[in-house]
């Protein structure tokens, strides 16, 4: 199992105290946590992207540029790059820059995003979100793989003899596809032989397993090498304490506050992926994907979900409302106590190993075999 820290850089007022963190301080915390993850041997650090609400990750490539300079070995990623609303030319330039700054430590996760407000913000029609995603992906893929590109499509002006600069550090970097609610995302990934990351955040595991199973079926139908049908999984948040009971009680106000804030958005309760299926922290821990508990309990849960998903990458998020030192303590406990427990139960995967010839050229994960 490989492991990733994901920060979407939410920054709403604290649901209990009402206090707000200045944007500059919040960005400092992102860099500090990434540096610590680098030092602890975590495989990957991922930055989200949102363009509405109390979120500061509207420019993830800028943040990744800072992380490229602050870290030395960790793989850098996104979660997800909202390719449906972005210009593929601009994005190829930005990611080429990050790939050069990190000397080949970049892989990205693309998707349509899960925020409906971003479409009017960018002058896009949400009814065409999958059309945008497919067209933009196919152009983006060509731009990072080829020079002198001629192209025409439905949703932007044609290109003639286009070459984006800087080029990727050592050839095109790997593209993952974010999967939360739709068959379109996993079908696109399977068609091109790319890996997926299941959101695995708000719903029962069965809802995500359906999409993962479909991905593997379609991947095989397209005739791609099955060794590279990698699946990653998110989580409903990470919170560790000495005992599971203590973790649940300490995490309770944060979880209840997050549910209350989500309720204010007044999403349709039937809207998959936008509202949690678990109204209480106990439900989220017992029946949902939240990784809340002792090191032993959280490790057991990751292994249990692995039996359902067969995933080789576990992505976790540490609640941004916690004191920064508490966040770092949780990360240390995760790296030093949870990860070794999981790796005793799950064989080392091909992903990011020396045998993975599609990995980011500047990164090789540590071996534990």
**Rounded to an integer, what distance in angstroms lies between the CA atom of residue 220 and that of residue 275?**
32
What would the DSSP string read from start to end of 76-97?
Answer: EEES-EEGGGS-HHHHHHHHHH
In 96-250 the beta strands, taken as DSSP E runs, fall at 108-111, 149-151, 159-162, 175-179, 196-198, 231-233, 238-240
pLDDT for the residue 272: 57
pLDDT for the residue 276: 74
Q: How far is CA 257 from the centre of its chain?
A: 23
Alpha-carbon distance values, 161 to 130, 140, 146, 153, 213 (Å): 27, 15, 10, 15, 40
Q: H or E element: which one contains 263? A: helix 244-264
Residues 6+ apart with CB under 8 A from 33: 5, 7, 45, 318, 324, 327, 328, 331
Q: Quick one: DSSP state of residue 344?
A: H
Average pLDDT per run of 10 along the chain, which is 369 residues long?
A: 97 86 97 98 98 96 98 98 98 98 98 92 96 98 98 97 98 97 96 98 94 98 98 96 97 87 66 72 94 98 98 97 97 98 97 98 93
Region for 70 from its dihedrals, namely left if φ exceeds 0, alpha if ψ lies in -120 to 50, beta otherwise = alpha
Task: Report phi then psi at 361, rounded to 5.
Answer: -65, -25
pLDDT for the residue 164: 98
pLDDT for the residue 236: 86
Alpha-carbon distance values, 204 to 143, 289, 308 (Å): 38, 7, 12
Domains of the chain: 2-345 (3.20.20.30)
Tokens at 250, concatenated: 């300490």
């Amino acid at each position: 199992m490989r492991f990733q820290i994901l920060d979407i850089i939410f920054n709403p007022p604290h649901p209990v105290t009402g206090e707000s963190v200045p944007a500059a301080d919040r960005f400092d915390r992102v860099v500090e946590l990434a540096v610590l993850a680098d030092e602890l041997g975590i495989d990957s650090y991922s930055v989200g992207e949102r363009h509405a609400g109390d979120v500061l990750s509207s420019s993830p490539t800028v943040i990744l540029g800072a992380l490229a300079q602050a870290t030395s070995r960790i793989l850098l990623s996104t979660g997800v790059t909202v390719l449906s609303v972005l210009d593929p030319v601009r994005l190829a330039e930005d990611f080429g820059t990050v790939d050069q700054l990190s000397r080949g430590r970049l892989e990205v996760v693309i998707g349509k995003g899960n925020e409906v407000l971003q479409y009017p913000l960018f002058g896009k029609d949400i009814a065409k979100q999958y059309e945008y995603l497919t067209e933009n992906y196919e152009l983006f893929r060509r731009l990072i793989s080829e020079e002198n590109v001629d192209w025409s499509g439905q949703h932007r002006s044609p290109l003639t003899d286009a070459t984006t600069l800087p080029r990727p550090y050592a050839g095109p970097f790997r593209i993952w596809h974010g999967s939360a609610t739709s068959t379109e995302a996993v079908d696109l990934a399977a068609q091109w032989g790319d890996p997926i990351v299941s959101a695995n955040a708000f719903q029962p595991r069965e809802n995500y397993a359906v999409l993962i199973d479909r991905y593997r079926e379609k991947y095989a139908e397209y005739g791609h090498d099955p060794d590279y049908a990698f699946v990653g999984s998110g989580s409903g948040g990470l919170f560790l304490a000495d005992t599971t009971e203590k973790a649940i009680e300490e995490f309770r106000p944060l979880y209840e506050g997050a549910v209350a804030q989500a309720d204010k958005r007044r999403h349709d309760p039937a809207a998959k992926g936008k509202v949690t299926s678990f109204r209480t922290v106990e439900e989220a821990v017992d029946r949902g994907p939240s990784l809340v508990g002792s090191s032993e309990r959280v490790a057991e849960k990751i292994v249990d979900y692995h039996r359902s998903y067969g995933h080789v990458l576990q992505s976790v998020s540490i609640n941004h409302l916690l004191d920064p030192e508490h966040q770092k303590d949780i990360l240390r406990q995760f790296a030093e106590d949870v990860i070794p427990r999981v790796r005793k139960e799950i064989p080392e995967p091909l992903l990011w190993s020396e045998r993975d010839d599609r990995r980011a050229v500047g990164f090789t994960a540590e071996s534990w075999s």
